Structures are given as structure tokens and as C-alpha cells.
Structure 1
Amino acid sequence: MLENIVKRPVIKMHPEDNVLVALVDLEKGENITFEKESYILQDTIKAKHKFYTADLKAGSEVIMYGVLVGKVQYDVAKGSLMTTDNLKHAAEPYQYRKVDFVWQAPDVSKYKNRTFKGYKRKDGRFGTANYWLFVPTVFCENRNLDVIKEALHNELGYSVGDKYTQYTHQLLEAYKKGESLDAIDIQLAPEQNTNKIFKNVDGIKFLNHQGGCGGTRQDASTLSALLASYVNHPNVAGITVLSLGCQHLQVQDFVNDVKKQNPSFDKPLFVFEQQQAVSEEQLVADAIKKTFEGLIEINQCERTEAPLSELCIGVKCGGSDGFSGVSANPAVGYTSDLLVALGAKVLLAEFPELCGVEQNLIDRCTTETAAKKFIDLMQSYDALAHKVGSGFHMNPSPGNIKDGLITDAIKSAGAAKKGGTAPVVDVLDYTEPAIKAGLSLVCTPGNDVEATTGKAASGATLILFTTGLGTPTGNPVCPVIKVATNSILAKKMSDIIDIDCGPIIRGEKTIEEMGEDILEYCIKAASGEIIPKAVLLNQDDFIPWKRGVSL
């Protein structure tokens, strides 16, 4: 078992903490010695969970990661398990205060001359992939997109369903012959499809959604800005737009948003409106033919050397566990610091999961304008949640809680580690593009897909996604790299996990060493030398945020 080779049973995340995190399963009555102090455990403490390091009276503050994460509800004894019963969420108030923040950047001298091989666009930005994108202006066109996707993916070598088709065929044949289905095993397909017709086109992607009509005009406007951001994304080389014609989100409004974001927009963009077509059949045929011509054109693009400063990395966590803030998130945070020191862009989002660490982020803002924008976005978001009887404190999921994330402040303090320690150079509202080198905060929900959708809209060309429980989340235009917090998950779900941070838990690697490993993976993924699992699986999740309450 992995637990048996961990070099240390517990860890303290900050010198001021009054809790310890169990790195292995600990038994009730066990005597744990940490930093010359002994703790007799009052309960069994499962790995990833926490116990109190002192006797605490009801109402006492609990500190983890150096910040307030909750208050105990009744007297608890030293060595007792932290639970949802004895601890409730609490967080410090926050405000803008002028602080002379000084950042100690990591040494990046060995990366100074490193490059990746990306696709250079005419606006000077570099993509990490070369995609053709299908955009419906309204949900009415989703069915047509599905038909086109099946035709293009199957014929041009982008389908990942061949093994399942073959498996179903074998089951059918066995059924016809009256044979047992139990004897039929699925044959695993190769990791990467080598049958692509267009070698320099990394994929044909489809932004199926449920918007564009109904709802409010504001919903349509937000969706238009989001779709325009994807069209302008550096990983996108060409676009086919399908419209019904009568919907709220009109094609011209969408095109105006595209050109508003990028006045020099010059990518091939083909528009088909069904209510102006001879027939649905002809619409689909025309869209396929024109797209095929566009694929021939963008297939001429080739990768070229780019400095690491041209990377834009989103950092995200989902399916988090009690080790997220111990291993994967801090490791990704160190990668973030390396990238910022190299002049790249890093995007930290999930505003409901920054609850409790607001003051730290405010103090790191380089301008008062950015700090106050962050405060306004956080307060308006939280107020909207409370208005419907919810709040950031209700963010942790049952899976989070079961694996040791007892309060939102605990979850948030660990989640914020993904952003490293660098100054915050900008604060972006939903769909606003990242234009400044350095660390930016992006307003999105904590929801995995809504957050990754928003990060890509702000320009992320790779997303580092940490997980302790496992999630297959991906994105249509931005490759998503899965980083496991523990080796048990990495082995159990090896078909979706790219990087294992378990060595940190076992004491085999430091946060810094793991962070450098993650950066090396990013360079290879950005160059097309490694294909992340979510990309191999065509895990193209896309959920627009309507600016309602979503945690």
C-alpha cells in the first residue's frame, strides 16, 4: 500500500495552524509526535483529514494555511478529529489596504532560453493547438452540429469511438448467434489517433450549448461575448457558424463582438443560416464542404519556436480532496511562479473558492484599481448567492467533505495555492481577455466546466487541472492537463490522469521539484509532443455561465 511508504504521518501547512493533516490512516489512541510535541489521538483519523493540536473551547478560531477557516461549535479535545459537526465555516473580513508587497521570484535562469513549438497567429499570439471550431448561435442548431461532427470526425480521423463501435458490433454478433456476452472484452484503442488526414489540424471542435434564445437579452449578450472569445482564441484557426435566423443572438451582433475584441480579425469564418437555406440537408452539405476547404487552408500552418513568455496557463481544481492543498495545488502554484517569472500569463479563477484568502490576494494586487475590482466582484457574487438562500460557505461538495475539506475556507485556502505567490497584475470579469503578463484573477464559478470554459475565454492556451477524486473535465479549444494529488488516484484513473503528485505526499519530491516537472510537461504539451488525456478522449466540455448563482 502507498500509505506504508510515506515517510511522515502528518504535516502542518503553516506555522500558525492549530490543526495537523494526516498523510496516512491513524488509529484512535495512537501517539503522534510532531515537532517535539506528542498528540494522543481521540479518534481514528483517516488520511487527508485533520485533527486539532490543542484543547479548544466553543467559538474558538481554527487556523489552517495561516488563515481563519472555521470556528468550533463546542469544546473539543487535543487530538480530536475535525468534522462538519464540530467545525463551521468562518472567514476573516477583508478590505483594501495599501501594502508594499515584495515578491521573491524563483530562479528561472535554466529556463531563460527554453522555447515551445506553437502556432503563431497573425496578431502575434501563439497557440498550443490548431483547431477548426463550429459555433452555433442558438441551441436549435445543436442537432445539425452533431450530424456534422459525426461525419467529419469519422471520415477525417478525429473520432475516439471506434473501439466502442467495434465492441458493440461484437456484442451484436454474439447476441445473433445466441452466445454469451460475458466472453466479449473491449479492445483498447491506441492512445493517439494516427489516421488524421490533416496532420497539422489538431481537431475539429463543436461548441454545443443551450443558449442564444429564450432567457434574457443579457444572457444572449454574455453568450455572444463568450463565443467571440473562443473564435478569437489563439488555438483556433478557422470557424464555421450555424444560425437558425430568428434567435436573440443575431449573427451580426456576434460578428460585431468578434471584431470588437479583435479589430484586425482575419481568420476564415463561414456563416450558414438555416432559415435562408434551401433545406436542412443542403445547409449541412454546404457547411461540410466549406469547412473542408478551410481545413485544407489551415493544414498549411506549422509549429514554430516561441519563448515561454508566450504561454497563457489557467490553473483549476476539481474533484478536490484533503491532499489538494498539500501536494498538487502547491506544486502547480510553484509552476505558476516559474511562469510568471518568465514573463508568461497565469489565470486563477473560481471566485467562490477564494473565500477566506481574499485579504492575501488583495494585498498582492499591484494596483488599487485591481484590488477594488476584485472586492466588488467577490462581494456582488456572494450577495447574489445569499439572496437565494445560499452562500460561498455551501461550496464544498459531499465528495470534498468526505475526503477532508470540511469548510469552504479550508477548500479555498488550499485551492488558492494554485496561483502561487506572485503579485496579482489584473482582475478580469467573465470573458475579459488576459492582456498583462503575470498572475490575473478571473471571475468564474467554482463549477469545473463553467470555470474551464471561462479560463479559455480569457485566453488560456493550456489548463493545469488538479484533482484528488478524479474528473474527466476537458475543454474544446484549450488542452486540459490533469494533475493528481495522490498516487492511488493516478493509478486507479490512469486513463484520465497526466501527472502524479503522490511523490510529495510520500516525501520523495519537494513542491519545487514537482513544480518543475509540471512545467516540463507543459512545455511538451504546448509543443504537441505530449497529448493530454482529456484531449485524447475528446473531452470537450463547454458550459456558458449565465451570471446566475453557481458555486
Structure 2
Amino acid sequence: MSSKILKIHPADNVLVALSNLNAGEKLTLGHTTVQLVDDVPAKHKFVEKAMNVDDEITMYGVLVGKAMKPIPAGGAIGTHNVKHKSSNFSEKTETFQWQAPQVDKWKTKTFMGYHREDGQVGTANYWLVIPLVFCENRNVNMIREAFEEALGFSKPDVYKNYVSEMVRLYQAGKVDNINSLNFQQSTTEQASQIFKNIDGIKFLTHEGGCGGTRMDAEALCALLAGYIHNPNVAGATVLSLGCQNAQADILRDKLAKLNPAFTKPLIVLEQQKEGTEQELLANAIRETFLGLIKANQQQRKPASLNKLVVGLECGGSDGFSGISANPAIGHTSDLIAALGGISILSEFPELCGVEQELINRCVDDTTANRFVQLMRAYEKAAVAVGSGFDMNPSPGNIKDGLITDAMKSAGAAKKGGTSPVADVLDYGEYVKKPGLNLLCTPGNDVESTTALAGAGANIMLFTTGLGTPTGNPVAPVVKISSNTKLAEKMPDIIDIDAGQVISGEKTIEQVGEQILDFIIEVASGNVKTKATQLHQDDFIPWKRGVSL
């Protein structure tokens, strides 16, 4: 890799700046020499040859945009001179052949997980407390207050202690000392953890369950059933008001479809039947405590790596994401597939422009046609409300070099590696087949990670180029930076630095293997991800309106 510029694919007609470049610089790559006519910041692109209006921009070997005005050779591209354009797609057009990576190194390796009666294996052991409707959020939070600190699961409130110290200085008349007060991690002693084999109690409040469409209620119940069924969950307490759209019977039906022989502890309490709030909460707390005693009896045991279900996600992407972090976890995904495990690629708006490649990678026509159907339906819904996939890139994406949705998508799709697409799932569906699965979700980070855990992910890989503090209540989230500058600036949220690919210190394959080794440690409970340490328990169900 050149220290200054990169051509990602031989068919590309734009080059990527790996460092800040100045107008007038002459740059040579292979047999091509280009003199820049503009300054080009790192992560941004410039054209190799002069372009006319409507000329197509190619990157990653696919169509990602078209010129809106003439661009001279060596000219920088941006939203001022390029707009979104992507290729059309149709049914499966070719037979896909895959060369699986060598995985002898990991064939005999195991992780220490929680074996469930249905054959799934968890990388953690959580108890859930869930409302079926937003009316019960207050009661869920009351249970949270009762349990977390007493059982040793709460995070020390260092910020509260920080404010308390400022109050003390103010009351002592030492206001001038406040500016020089250093924030330090609290040394307040935390209550010891009572249940040694339980990783925590997670409280999943939300704003749904009633007032929307019946489809919203069905989707919410399917999602919550997926969380309860997730192998990282030992059992659950569910609070229902009683009159809402998202009925307890719908939840039970969704659970029965996932596993007719469902045996996990499940406590369902309905406030309108229980009577007073005090009676509801007392019963919920008592039954939950008894459930925790049972869940604490489970212990970690060796499990083969084919029991890993890895969610693939990106957020706060930059112009390096598709070059370093995304293809690195794509290689990890290929390793997982070769070992018989499962990976899940979500964010359908960020697959725009690479649909045909994914269609051709599908294992059969039925799988390919389902992907086509879901993509077309999603795009149609977006257009119906005056939007479209072309409006997906955020201001942060654009500022850091991802100027069209197709360009962003071409890099985002690298998370799925090169393996065959074994299955295509709609939102709320649960994984069944080993290999790479495609899951219909928005590109919104939290809506997507929420859906990944609901589809059965027992660990997630999350790439970021700008820094995104996203986690999940039940699935450990491994955060991978696309560039070293971010890893150094935000070490509290980054687990692995894929910027070593940009610097040339490591190959994509080497970082992908490093990530798999890290996954094994996290899955075994030996390492807590930064997201877990920070209690980043983000949970946002998707109401099937348009969300990009």
C-alpha cells in the first residue's frame, strides 16, 4: 500500500488519500501519475482522469456516483460535484464459488460459554426485565433501583461524586478551585456481586407496545421473544399492563415458534390483574430474585467455535472504514463461516449498490429472491415518504469522505466478507442456518444492533471511524476503529485498532485473525469489552416506518 494514496480496485477511477495532500503535488501509483488541482484531506478521494457531466464514479469496483459538473484530473470529489448513483439489480445471474480461508489454527479451539437446553451457547449470562408497553417503564425502573446496587451490578456513579465534590467546594467558598478540580474515577466501594455466575440484570425500557399499528406490536413481541430466546439470556421478567396491543399471549406465541420446548424461567405479571402497584412490584421482585438463584446455578463450559453467532455492524463510519475495519471483520466473518458458525450482516440501506454481488452470493434462488423483495420494499417505503437510500450518509460520514450512499454501502458491505449468503431474514426473525445471514434492519446504529441481538447474536463486531459509544444489553460489543488516531483519542470505547492496515503494519487478514482471537477471550468471559465496562446498554426497537 502506498503511504499516500490507494486504488482499492483495478476498475476504480478515483484514488483515496491516506494522508492530507496538497494541491500541486504529483502522485504516482503504478504506471499512473496525477497532479492534484485541489487539496485532498485524508480519507477523501480525487479523480484519476478528467470527468464530464454524468460520467460515472467507480469505487470498490462498483458504481458509486456520477459527476454533476466537469472535474479535472487530480480534482477532489465531494457533494459539490458528485451525486449518488448505483447499479440496478435483478435475480441471481451466476453460480457462486467460494474459496474458504484456512482455519486449521482454530478447529480445536473452544470458548467457555453457557450451554442452554436448546443447544445454543451463550457468551454471557443475563436476566432480563422487560415491559410489554411503555406504561410499565416506570415499574421496570423501580425494579432496577431495587436490584442493581443491592446485587452489585450497578456502575459506580463517578459523575455524581464529581458533582458532590464541586458542591463541597462551593459551600466552602472555594469557587475558584472548581476549574482546577480534576475528574478522577470514584474510589467508592461497590457492593460485592451476590450472584457470581450472572453477568447482570438488564432492563429494556422502550416507547412501544400500544398506540402504533398492530404490525408494530407484532414486531415488538417478535423482537422481545428473540431477546428472551438469545443464548446470553438465562430468564426474564415481563411486565404487562393488560390492555395494550402487545399482549402477553402474542409474546408467548412468538417464543413457542422459536422453541416449542421453551424451558427458561419466564415470569409474566399483568398490573391490571395484580392490583396495586405495590403488589405488582413486590411479586415481580420476589419472583425475579428466585429466578436469579436458579440462573446462578449455570456455569461456563467449553464450546466449539461453531456456536458463535457474530453480529456485524458499523457506525460513525469514515473514508477508511471500508478499507481497514470493515474488510477486517469481513475476514473474521469468513473464518466464522468456515468454522461452521454464524455471522449476521444488517443495515439494508447500506447495501445499496452492491445488491447484485450479494444476490449472486446467495446459496439458491429462493434466498436471492427474498433479498430482492426486502430491498425493493424498503426502498419503496423510503421513497413513499419523500426520502430514499441516497439520503443515508450522515454529515459526519460526508465530512470524512463518504459522500454518496453507494460509496458508503460499498465499504459497509465489506463487513460481510466473501462467503456465501446462507439465509436472508426479515426484521424480528431469528437465525437458523450456519454461515453468513443478511438481516433487514435500518442503518441506524442502535436500531440495527438491537435487531442483531434479537436475531440471536451472542457477540457483535462494531466498526467505527469517528467514534460511536454504542453497546447492547445482552450481547458483548467489540468496537474496532478504522484509524489509529481514533483509537488513541477514544481509548475508552475502542477495543481493537484496525488502523494498522492503513499504516501498513498489518494486513486485513492479520487484523481479522486478531479479532477472532479477541472474540474467543470475550466469549469466554476473560475480557470485558469497553462497551460492557461502560454499561452501554442501548436498546431501540424499530417501528416499521422508514428509518435510515
Q: TM-score, normalised by structure 1?
A: 0.97
How many Å apart are 1:164 and its aligned residue?
Answer: 2.2
Q: What is the distance in 2 between the residues matched to 1:122 and 1:202?
A: 19
Whether 2:27 is the aligned partner of 1:46: answer: no
1:108 Cα deviation (Å)?
0.6
C-alpha separation in 2, matches of 1:437 and 1:495:
33
Q: Which residue of 2 aligns with 1:24?
A: 19
Alignment partners' CA distance in 2, 1:8 and 1:35: 13
Is it true that 1:246 corresponds to 2:243 in the alignment?
Answer: yes
Q: Report 1:71-220 matches (<5 A).
A: 71-180=66-175, 181-189=178-186, 195-220=192-217
Cα pair 2:149 2:191 within 8 Å, conserved = no
Asked whether the equivalents of residues 123 and 523 of structure 2 are also in contact (C-alpha less than 8 Å), the reply is yes
Q: Secondary structure at the match of 2:546?
A: coil
In structure 1, the residue matched to 2:52 is 57
Aligned partner of 1:33 among 28, 34, 45: 28
Query: Which 5+ residue runs of structure 2 have no aligned equivalent?
Result: none
Is residue 267 from structure 1 mapped to residue 260 from structure 2 by the alignment? no
**Aligned counterpart, 1:446:** 443
CA distance in 1 between counterparts of 2:429 and 2:259 reads 12
Which amino acid is 2:443 matched to? G
Q: 1:272–1:435: structure 2 CA closer, same or farther, 3 Å change rule? A: same
1:519 to 506, 516, 534: 516
**Local SS of the residue matching 1:182:** coil
Please identify, of 54-63 and 168-177, the stretch whose mean Cα deviation from structure 2 is larger.
168-177
Which residue number corresponds to residue 492 of structure 2? Answer: 495
Is residue 138–residue 244 contact of structure 1 (8 Å, CA) maintained in 2? yes
CA–CA separation in structure 2 for the residues paired with 1:391 and 1:33: 38
Q: Is the aligned partner of 1:403 residue 2:400? A: yes
Provide the C-alpha distance between the structure 2 equivalents of 1:68 and 1:237, rounded to a whole number of angstroms.
46
- The reply to whether residue 13 of structure 1 matches residue 8 of structure 2 is yes
Instruction: Report Cα offsets for 1:165-222 as digits up to 9, x if no partner.
Output: 32232222223222223343322258x9783221110011011000111111111111
**Match for residue 415 of structure 2?**
418
SS in 2 for 1:239: strand
Q: Which amino acid aligns with 2:116?
A: R
Task: Indicate if the aligned counterparts of 1:117 and 1:306 stay in contact, CA closer than 8 A.
Answer: yes
Corresponding residue SS for 1:55:
coil
In 1, distance between residues paired with 2:18 and 2:191? 42
Contact 2:333 2:415 in 1 (8 A): yes
Paired with 2:92 and 2:265, the residues of 1 have a C-alpha distance of: 48
Counterpart amino acid of residue 413 in structure 1 = A
Give 5+ residue unaligned stretches, structure 1.
1-5
Q: Whole-Å Cα distance in 2 between the matches of residues 176 and 284 of structure 1?
A: 39
Task: Report whether the alignment pairs 1:302 with 2:281.
Answer: no
After the TM superposition, which residues 500-511 of structure 1 pair with which residues of structure 2 at under 5 Å, given as runs?
500-511=497-508
1:546 deviates by 1.2
Deviation at 1:75?
Answer: 1.4
> How many residues of Structure 1 are paired with residues of Structure 2 in the alignment?
546
Task: Find the aligned partners of 2:174 and 2:284 in 1 and give their Cα distance.
Answer: 44
One-letter identity of the residue aligned with 1:103: W
Q: Name the TM-score, length of structure 2 as normaliser.
A: 0.97
Task: Tell me which moved more, 536-545 or 166-175.
Answer: 166-175
1:494-521: CA deviation from partner (whole Å, max 9, x where unpaired) = 1111111111110100001010001111
Offset from partner CA, 1:111-158 (integer Å, 9 cap, x none): 110111110000011001000001101001111111211221111111
Aligned to 2:525: 528
Greater displacement, 177-186 / 522-531: 177-186
1:360-371 to 2 correspondences below 5 Å: 360-371=357-368
**Could you tell me how far apart the structure 2 residues matched to 1:100 and 1:268 are?**
46
Taking the aligned partners of 1:372 and 1:302, their CA distance within structure 2 comes to 42
Query: For the residues of structure 2 that align with 1:520 and 1:510, how far apart are their CA atoms?
Result: 16
C-alpha contact (below 8 Å) 2:58/2:64 kept by paired residues? yes
DSSP-derived class of the 1:489 partner:
helix
For 1:3, the equivalent position in structure 2 comes to none
**Percent identity, aligned pairs only?**
56
Which residue in 2 is equivalent to 1:548?
545
CA contact (8 A) 2:161 2:186 kept: no
Deviations 1:337-372 (A, max 9, x none): 111111100100100000000000001001100000
Question: Does the CA contact (< 8 Å) of 1:70 and 1:87 recur in 2?
Answer: yes
Between the aligned partners of 1:484 and 1:420, the Cα distance in structure 2 is 17
The code of the aligned residue for 1:20 comes to L
Q: Match for 1:254: what amino acid? A: L
Letter in 1 for 2:48: T
- SS of the aligned residue for 1:54 comes to coil
CA–CA distance in 2 between the matches of 1:418 and 1:465?
A: 10
Which digits, 9 at most, give the CA deviation of each residue in 1:312-343, with x for residues without a partner?
00100000000000100010111111111111
Letter in 2 for 1:113: T
Q: Which among 534, 539, 547 is matched to residue 536 of structure 2?
A: 539
CA shift, 1:267, in A, is: 0.8
Which of residues 459, 462, 470 is equivalent to 2:459? 462
How far, CA to CA, are the matches of 1:71 and 1:473 in structure 2?
Answer: 33
Asked if 2 retains the 8 angstrom alpha-carbon contact of 1:7 and 1:506, the reply is no
Question: Deviation string for 1:431-466 (max 9, x for gaps)?
Answer: 111111100100000000111111111111111000
SS of aligned partner of 1:435: coil
Corresponding residue SS for 2:272: helix
**Amino acid aligned to 2:217:** A
CA distance in 1, matches of 2:172, 2:368: 69
For the residues of structure 2 that align with 1:327 and 1:412, how far apart are their CA atoms? 15
The residue correspondences of 1:327-346 to structure 2 (distance < 5 A) are: 327-346=324-343
- Paired residue type of 2:148: H
